[in-house]
Structure 1
Amino acid sequence: MKVVKLLASVIVITAFISCKNSSQETQTDKNASTTEISIPFEKHTLDNGLTVLFHEDKSDPVVAVALTAHVGSAREKEGKTGFAHLFEHLLFLESENLGKGGLDAMSARIGGAGANGSTSRDVTNYYQTVPKDALEKMIWAEADKLGYFINTVTDPVLEKEKQVVKNEKRQSVDNNAYGHESYVVGKNLYPEGHPYNWQVIGSLEDLQNASLQDVKDFYNDWYTPNNAVLTIAGDFDKDQALKWVEKYFGEIKRGKEVEKTKVALVQLKSNKNLYYEDNFAQTPRLGMNWPTIPNYHKDSYALKILGTYLSNGKKAPLNEVVVEGDQVADQAYAYNYTSELAGQFSIVARAYDGVDLDSVLTSVTKAMALFEKNGMSQNDLDRIKTGEETDFYQGLSSVLGKGFQLTQYQILAGDAGFLTEDVKNMQAVTVEDVKNVYKKYIKGQHYVMTSFVPKGSTALAVTDAQIADVVEEQIVENAEESFDASVTAQYERTPSSFDRTIEPEYGSTPTLAIPEVYREKLSSGITVLGIEDNEVPLVQLQLEIKGGMLLESTDKIGVSGMLADLMNKGTATKTAAELEEAIDQLGASIYVRSNNQSISISASSLSRNYDEVMKLVNEVLLEPRWDKGEFDLIKQQTLSQIQQQKASLRAIAGNQFDKLVYGEDHILAQNNLGTAQSVEEITIDDLKSYYNNYLSPQLASFKVVGDITKVDVNSSLQTLNEKWAKKEVIIPKIAPIEMPISSKVYFYDVPNAKQSILSFGHPSIPSTHQDFYKVEVLNYRLGGGGFASQLTQQLREGKGYTYGIRSGYSGSPIAGIFNISSGVRSNVTYESTVLVREILTNYGANFTEEDLEITKSYMIKSSARAFESQGAKLRMLSNIEEDQLPVDYALQRQKEVKNLSLENMKNLAQEYIHPEQMIYLIVGDKATQFDKLEKLGFGKPILLN
Structure 2
Amino acid sequence: MKPFLAALIVLFVVSCKEKSEQKTEETAKTEFKVEFEKFTLDNGLQVIFHIDRSDPVVAVALTSHVGSAREKVGRTGFAHLFEHLLFLESENLGKGGLDKMSARIGGSGANGSTSRDRTNYFQTVPKDALEKMIWAEADKLGYFINTVTEPVLAKEKEVVKNEKRQRVDNNPYGHVNYVVTKALYPEGHPYSWTVIGSLEDLQNATLQDVKDFYNKWYVPNNVTLTIAGDFDVAEAKSWVKKYFDEIKKGDAIPTLEKQPVTLETTKKLYYEDNFARLPQLSLTWPSVPQFDKDAYALDVLTTYLSDGKKAPLYKTLVEEKQLTDYVRMYNSTSELAGELGLSVTAFDTTELTKVNSAIQEAFAAFEKEGISDADINRIKAGQETNFYNSLSSVLGKGFQLAQYEIFAGDPGYVSEDVEKILAVTKEDVMRVYNTYIKDKNYVAVSAVPRGQASLVLEGSTKAEVVEEKIVEGKESNFDPSIAATYEKTPSSFDRSIEPPYGSSPDVKVPDVYKEELSSGIKVFGIENNEVPLVQFSIKINGGMLLEDKNKIGVSNLVASMLTKGTKNKTPEELENAIESLGASINASANDQYITISGNCLAKNYTKVIELVNEIILEPRWDAKEFSLLKQSTISQIQRQQANPNGIAANEFSKLVYGKDHILANNNVGTTASVASITIEDLKNYYNANVSPTVTSFHIVGDITEPNVKSSLASLNKNWKAKDVTVPTIVAAEKPEKSKVYFYNVPDAKQSVLMFGAPSLAATDKNYYGAQVMNYRLGGGSFASQLTQELREGKGYTYGVRSSFSGDKTDGLFSISSGVRTNVTYEASNLVKEILEKYSAGYSQNDLEVSKGYMIKSNARAFETMGSKLNMLLNISTYDYPVDYAKQREEGVKNMSVEDVKALANDYINPDKMIYLIVGDAKTQLKKLNKLGYGEPELLNPEEILKD
Q: Does 1:266 align with 2:261?
A: yes
CA contact (8 A) 2:535 2:599 kept: yes
Correspondences of 1:384-783 after superposition (within 5 Å):
384-783=379-778
SS at match of 2:642: coil
Shift of 1:199: 0.6
Find 2:376's aligned residue among 381, 384, 405. Answer: 381
In 1, the alpha carbon distance for the partners of 2:656 and 2:366 equals 51
In 1, the alpha carbon distance for the partners of 2:676 and 2:148 equals 60
Which residue identity lines up with residue 540 of structure 1 in the other structure?
Answer: Q
CA contact (8 A) 1:18 1:28 kept: no
Shift of 1:13: 1.5
Q: Structure 1: which 5+ runs fail to align?
A: none
SS at match of 2:137: helix
Residue equivalent to 1:7: 3
In 1, the alpha carbon distance for the partners of 2:823 and 2:188 equals 36
Shift of 1:266: 0.3
In 2, the alpha carbon distance for the partners of 1:131 and 1:491 equals 34
Correspondences of 1:879-898 after superposition (within 5 Å):
879-898=874-893
CA 1:29–1:831 in structure 2 vs 1: closer, same or farther (change >3 Å)?
Answer: farther
Cα distance per residue 1:123-178 (max 9 Å; x no partner):
00000000000000000000011100000000000000000000000000001111
**Larger deviation, residues 40-49 vs 308-317:** 308-317
Shift of 1:62: 0.1
Which residue identity lines up with residue 392 of structure 2 in the other structure?
Answer: S
Shift of 1:229: 0.2
In 2, the alpha carbon distance for the partners of 1:736 and 1:912 equals 15
Shift of 1:553: 1.5
Shift of 1:801: 0.1
In 2, the alpha carbon distance for the partners of 1:500 and 1:132 equals 21
SS at match of 1:444: coil
CA contact (8 A) 1:512 1:891 kept: no
In 2, the alpha carbon distance for the partners of 1:844 and 1:755 equals 30
Q: Does 1:865 align with 2:860?
A: yes
Cα distance per residue 1:756-781 (max 9 Å; x no partner):
00000000011000111111111110
CA 1:542–1:651 in structure 2 vs 1: closer, same or farther (change >3 Å)?
Answer: same
Q: Does 1:132 align with 2:127?
A: yes
Cα distance per residue 1:450-502 (max 9 Å; x no partner):
10000000000011200011111112012222000111111111000000000
Find 1:16's aligned residue among 8, 12, 21. Answer: 12
CA contact (8 A) 1:16 1:35 kept: no
CA 1:902–1:636 in structure 2 vs 1: closer, same or farther (change >3 Å)?
Answer: same
Which residue identity lines up with residue 100 of structure 1 in the other structure?
Answer: K
In 2, the alpha carbon distance for the partners of 1:593 and 1:395 equals 23
Shift of 1:332: 1.1
Find 1:122's aligned residue among 117, 121, 125. Answer: 117
Find 1:317's aligned residue among 302, 312, 331. Answer: 312
CA contact (8 A) 2:290 2:337 kept: yes
In 2, the alpha carbon distance for the partners of 1:852 and 1:125 equals 31
In 1, the alpha carbon distance for the partners of 2:111 and 2:728 equals 42
Find 2:152's aligned residue among 157, 176, 179. Answer: 157
Residue equivalent to 1:810: 805
In 2, the alpha carbon distance for the partners of 1:407 and 1:831 equals 43
SS at match of 2:687: helix
Shift of 1:33: 7.2
Cα distance per residue 1:219-245 (max 9 Å; x no partner):
000000000000000000011100000
Q: Does 1:847 align with 2:842?
A: yes
Q: Does 1:299 align with 2:303?
A: no
Q: Does 1:49 align with 2:39?
A: no
SS at match of 1:631: helix
CA contact (8 A) 1:318 1:333 kept: no
Residue equivalent to 2:279: 284
Shift of 1:6: 4.2
CA contact (8 A) 2:730 2:809 kept: no
CA contact (8 A) 2:170 2:749 kept: yes
Shift of 1:9: 4.3
Which residue identity lines up with residue 15 of structure 1 in the other structure?
Answer: L
In 1, the alpha carbon distance for the partners of 2:653 and 2:18 equals 61
SS at match of 2:10: coil
CA contact (8 A) 2:63 2:120 kept: yes
Cα distance per residue 1:830-856 (max 9 Å; x no partner):
000000000011111100000000000
Find 2:19's aligned residue among 16, 26, 35. Answer: 26
Shift of 1:11: 2.7
TM-score by length of 2: 0.98
Q: Displaced runs of 4+ in structure 1, greater than 4 A?
A: 27-34
Shift of 1:554: 1.1
Correspondences of 1:156-195 after superposition (within 5 Å):
156-195=151-190
Shift of 1:733: 2.6
Cα distance per residue 1:241-266 (max 9 Å; x no partner):
00000000000000011121114320
Shift of 1:734: 2.8
SS at match of 2:108: coil
Which residue identity lines up with residue 280 of structure 2 in the other structure?
Answer: R
- The total of aligned residue pairs comes to 938
Shift of 1:539: 0.2
In 2, the alpha carbon distance for the partners of 1:547 and 1:142 equals 48
Q: Does 1:236 align with 2:250?
A: no
CA contact (8 A) 2:258 2:335 kept: no
SS at match of 2:195: coil
SS at match of 2:818: strand
CA contact (8 A) 2:4 2:386 kept: no
CA contact (8 A) 1:547 1:694 kept: yes
SS at match of 1:602: strand
CA 1:27–1:105 in structure 2 vs 1: closer, same or farther (change >3 Å)?
Answer: farther
Residue equivalent to 1:836: 831
Which residue identity lines up with residue 616 of structure 2 in the other structure?
Answer: L
Residue equivalent to 2:945: none
Cα distance per residue 1:354-409 (max 9 Å; x no partner):
00101101111111111111111100000100100000000000000000000000
CA contact (8 A) 2:317 2:323 kept: yes
CA contact (8 A) 1:66 1:127 kept: yes
In 1, the alpha carbon distance for the partners of 2:224 and 2:303 equals 32
Which residue identity lines up with residue 501 of structure 1 in the other structure?
Answer: S
CA RMSD in angstroms, aligned pairs only: 1.1
Which residue identity lines up with residue 623 of structure 2 in the other structure?
Answer: K
In 1, the alpha carbon distance for the partners of 2:881 and 2:730 equals 29
In 1, the alpha carbon distance for the partners of 2:730 and 2:579 equals 44
CA 1:12–1:228 in structure 2 vs 1: closer, same or farther (change >3 Å)?
Answer: farther
In 2, the alpha carbon distance for the partners of 1:559 and 1:318 equals 28
Which residue identity lines up with residue 97 of structure 2 in the other structure?
Answer: G
Q: Does 1:111 align with 2:106?
A: yes
Which residue identity lines up with residue 486 of structure 1 in the other structure?
Answer: S
Which residue identity lines up with residue 702 of structure 2 in the other structure?
Answer: D
SS at match of 2:735: coil
Cα distance per residue 1:56-77 (max 9 Å; x no partner):
0000000000000000000001
SS at match of 1:99: coil
CA 1:12–1:940 in structure 2 vs 1: closer, same or farther (change >3 Å)?
Answer: same
CA contact (8 A) 1:569 1:576 kept: yes
In 1, the alpha carbon distance for the partners of 2:817 and 2:196 equals 20
TM-score by length of 1: 0.98
Shift of 1:114: 0.5
